[in-house]
Chains A and B, each alone.
Chain A
Amino acid sequence: MPKTDYIEQLRRRLVDLGCPIARVRRLVQEVTDHREDLKQTALAEGLSGVAAEIHADTLLGNPLDLAEGLAEALRRSSWWGRHSIIGFCVLPLLAVPLLWSLIMFVGLWLVFAFGYALDETRLHVAADNPVVFHHMSMLVHGADCLALALVTLLFCWLARRSGLSFKWTAIACAICSIYALFTWINIVPHSLSLGFSFPPHGSSPWIRLAMPLVTVALVYAFQRRTAHCYRESVAA
């Protein structure tokens, strides 16, 4: 098998298995170096150029099997990769409400601090103004959607860096979506409430449901594009 074929097969399989591009570059570089060492040794032993390449490929084994082994090692090297069921099926059930509450709290506190200088009276006066209250409401719902998107992004990032397949990202995202559907946030003048209800209610349950799904779809498109660009840059 010519060098480009062997290395190219390895590279493609690693990308297909969901390895981060930076890791793929490094693995491919190391295997290329190793293959060259094997070839040089074979040449020194008196084999011809073609025979030395075949010998090197035989010793390295099937490139697809090698890629599987490399991807598996990447998964084993992180806690999230070793405990993917806990990390992406169980933990989101606990982490999503906690992270969402934390992000919402920090976001709203920042608005309170910078918009009203932590002055409760100013906040109450502003809430009585319908225009300002409309802006506040928009801001709260925007922060809510942003929090859901950030939580989903966190799980997407953890799955990606652990070299896990997209299945795990999708599972975590589905949990985020279900959670978003049954929780709600409500703002009326002088009062902000968060809650959980079945069946879903609130002003925008379907928008909240869609937020994690849209986020994960964008992440998927981005990953596909990155992999495509990488393949094209290598081919060029």
Chain B
Amino acid sequence: MKKTNPIFLNGVPELLVLRLLSRREMYGYQIIEEIRAQTRETLSFGEGCIYPYLHYLEAEKLVSSRRREVDGRSRNYYKLTPRGGKRLDELTTEWKRVTTGISSLMGEQYA
């Protein structure tokens, strides 16, 4: 994520990547573009920084990858594993709990 991301965004990149991969197989560039587009450029990965992250998730067996050719271009596509699905559920639950708590504290006008 961007260097300016505050500390409370720890764990958010994992949540975002797993969420995107739960929808379909994607490659690195596509993931970065999707995050940028779907968060309306509020959040974005630095170009190239996604790969260490994806490899880390792969080492943890949360995602798997395969080389696939689409429209004449061969790329590494990543997809969610069953273990990654469980991790996504845990992170989603945790995220909801945190945002609910923060919203309660901040009051209605900030929710």
Contact = CB atoms under 8 A, between A and B. Distances in A.
Interface of A: 26-27, 29-31, 33-34, 36-38, 59-61, 66, 69-70, 72-74, 76-78
Contact of A61 (B47, B56, B76): B47
A60 B75 CA distance: 18
Given A29-B76, A33-B75, A77-B56, A61 B51 contact: no
Interface of B: 27-29, 46-49, 51-53, 55-56, 59-60, 73-76
Contacts of B51: 27, 30-31, 34, 70, 73
A228 B53 CA distance: 28
Contacts of A72: 52
Given A33-B27, A34-B51, A61-B48, 10 more contacts: A27-B51, A33-B76, A61-B46, A66-B49, A69-B48, A70-B51, A73-B51, A73-B53, A74-B55, A76-B56
A31 B29 contact: no
A26 B65 CA distance: 11
Chain A at the B interface: SS class: helix
B52 A30 contact: no
Contacts of B76: 26, 29-30, 33
Contacts of B47: 34, 38, 59-61
Chain B at the A interface: SS class: mixed
A77 B59 contact: yes
Interface centre among A31, A37, A60 (most CB of B within 10 A): A37
B52 A34 contact: no
Given A33-B76, A76-B56, A77-B59, A69 B49 contact: yes
Nearest to B75: A33
Nearest to B59: A77
A37 B27 CA distance: 11
Contacts of B73: 33, 36
18 contacts: A26-B76, A27-B55, A29-B76, A33-B29, A34-B47, A37-B29, A59-B47, A61-B47, A66-B48, A66-B49, A69-B52, A70-B52, A70-B55, A73-B51, A73-B52, A73-B53, A73-B55, A77-B59
A46 to B, nearest CB: 19
A30 B78 CA distance: 12
Nearest to B67: A29
B48 A60 contact: yes
A153 B28 CA distance: 35
Contacts of A26: 76
A76 B60 CA distance: 11
